[in-house]
Amino acid sequence: MSLQTGTGFWDPLLWVVAFAIALLISYLIWARGESTYHKDTEAVKPYLSGNAEPEKGEVHIRAGNMYWGFTEALKGYYSRVVPLHSGILNDYVLWFIATAALVLVIVGVIG
């Protein structure tokens, strides 16, 4: 059943069994949790130090606000790569032809 990777192996069924055991343990811990919590009661309402709950749309963190740090850290990379994706067909063709020419030179020179 194990997947042979050349230098090792991978047994997915063993992993599934281990994952199922971990889930069972998680469930048992969860089942022993707070027993006074019930759905459809005050317990489900967010506690915001007495402030009014914001609109649902304002609570959700949108995609544009995620990974800002990542793109900011790689600003130097993105400032060069993103403009290459110009959306202009002429550029697409140019890249295609240029790549073909480069590969032809490499193959022509090296063999």
Partner 1 sequence: MIQDIILQNSPALLLAVPMLGAFATPLFGRISGTVRNAWVLLVMAATLAISLVLGFEVLTNGTMVYTFGAAAPSLSIPADSGGIPIRIIFTVDAMSVFMAISASIVAFAVTLYSLVSQKMSTGKDGYYALLILMLVGILGMVCTGDIFNFFVFLEINSLAGAALVAYRVDKGLAVEGGLKYAVISTLGGLMVLFSVALLYGQYDTLNIAMIAERMQFTFLDQVALVMLIVALAMKAGAVPMHFWTPDAYSMAPSAVTALLIVASQASLYGVFRVAFTLYGVALNWVTIGWIVIILGVLSMFVGVTMAIPQKDVKRLMAYHAVSQTGYMLLGVGVGLAVLGDPEMMKLFGLTAMEGGIFHIINHAMYKGLLFLTAGAIFYQTGTRNLNKLGGLGHSMKWTMLFFIIGALAIAGIPPFNGFASKLMIYESVFLFNPLLSIIAMVVSVLTLASFVKVFHSIFMGPKLPEYEEVKEVPGPMLAGMGILALLVVLFGIFPQQIVDILIAPAAGALIDQSGYIESVLGGI
Q: For 51, which DSSP code?
A: P
Element (H, E) at 27: helix 12-31
- Quick check: 103 binds partner 1 (CB under 8 A)? yes
Distance CA 36, CA 41 (A): 10
- Quick check: 23 binds partner 1 (CB under 8 A)? no
Q: How far is the CB of 33 from partner 1 (least distance, A)?
A: 22
- Quick check: 31 binds partner 1 (CB under 8 A)? no
Rg (CA), the chain: 28
Question: Residue 46 in contact with residue 53, Cβ under 8 Å?
Answer: yes
Q: How far is the CB of 14 from partner 1 (least distance, A)?
A: 10
Q: How far is the CB of 48 from partner 1 (least distance, A)?
A: 14
Place of tokens 């230098």: 7
Residue 46 tokens read as 């967010």
**Site residues (vs partner 1, CB under 8 A):** 1-8, 10, 12-13, 15-16, 19, 55-57, 59-64, 66-67, 70-71, 74, 77-78, 81-82, 84-85, 87, 89, 91-93, 95-96, 99-100, 103-104, 106-108, 110-111
